[in-house]
Amino acid sequence: MSSAARSGVVRSVAAAPSGPSAANQPSGVTPTVSQTGKPTRSGAVCGVPVTLSGVGVFTVYARGPGGVLGKAQILGTNAQESVAIQHPGSFAYGLDTSDFSLQEYTISASGKATPGAQLFLDNPQQVVVHTSNKFLLVPDLSGVVHVFSIDPATGAFSQIGTSEAAGNGTGGLVMDPSGRFVFVVQGANPNFPGSTNQITEYSFDPGSGAMKKLQVFPQPAQPGIVIITR
């Protein structure tokens, strides 16, 4: 376990010794376990419950009066491992690890999801929506975080910059609740030269989307789930 403090914003960063390489739970979402034993995340986003299963397929349900769920609409592919929601729930972004593509979906008030822009990246690992809902962050395997701006009207995304590389073997990132700090998680792997067990901290400018590498926290074992507490 490592700890860091930035003007009282970040009190601790906890790294688990096992589990996924990184996890950034969507706001208001509670982890559960499916019958197959694969992790499942489910929750309601502005009246539109969203479910993300460990195999990559995610489903949108329109919620009617009394909380009754409508017909399921399955999105993505079996390799779509990371999904992020832009609140209040009008847009979703899915990362497909079979073809390394980032896909935007527009979600209507009735829960209908329409695929939008798609972009192919180099070994992306995760997709995270910034707390301001203005940016998308996508770390790649080399530890470079690709920053995209989000059009609030259409949900379209455009790359505006990249971070300094954290290093090989990156599995994902987690964001401080204030949106001003980002932590990139890396694990040592013999298949990735130079990879090591560590967590790299960056500052994030909520106005411009610029990132600056601050410090590195070596870990005694491969980091698992990283949790930031206030």
Residue 206 in this model has a pLDDT that exceeds 50: yes
- Considering the domain architecture, whether residues 108 and 166 belong to the same structural domain is answered as no
pLDDT tens digit sequence for 180-199 = 999 999 999 888 888 999 99
Q: In which residue are the tokens 């079979």 written?
A: 98
- Considering the domain architecture, whether residues 88 and 133 belong to the same structural domain is answered as no
Residue 17 in this model has a pLDDT that exceeds 80: no
Q: Which two tokens stand for residue 119?
A: 């972009």
Residue ending a domain, choose from 122, 153, 177? 122
- Considering the domain architecture, whether residues 146 and 206 belong to the same structural domain is answered as yes
Percent of the chain with pLDDT over 70: 70
Residue ending a domain, choose from 122, 140, 160? 122
- Considering the domain architecture, whether residues 35 and 109 belong to the same structural domain is answered as yes
pLDDT tens digit sequence for 98-135 = 789 998 988 887 777 788 899 999 999 999 999 999 99
Q: In the prediction, which pLDDT does 76 show?
A: 62
Range of the domain at 40: 27-122
- The HSE-up count of residue 64 (CA atoms within 13 Å, CB side) is 5
What is the reported pTM?
0.70
pLDDT tens digit sequence for 95-106 = 887 789 998 988
Domain count, the chain: 2
CATH number at residue 202: 2.130.10.10
- Considering the domain architecture, whether residues 147 and 104 belong to the same structural domain is answered as no
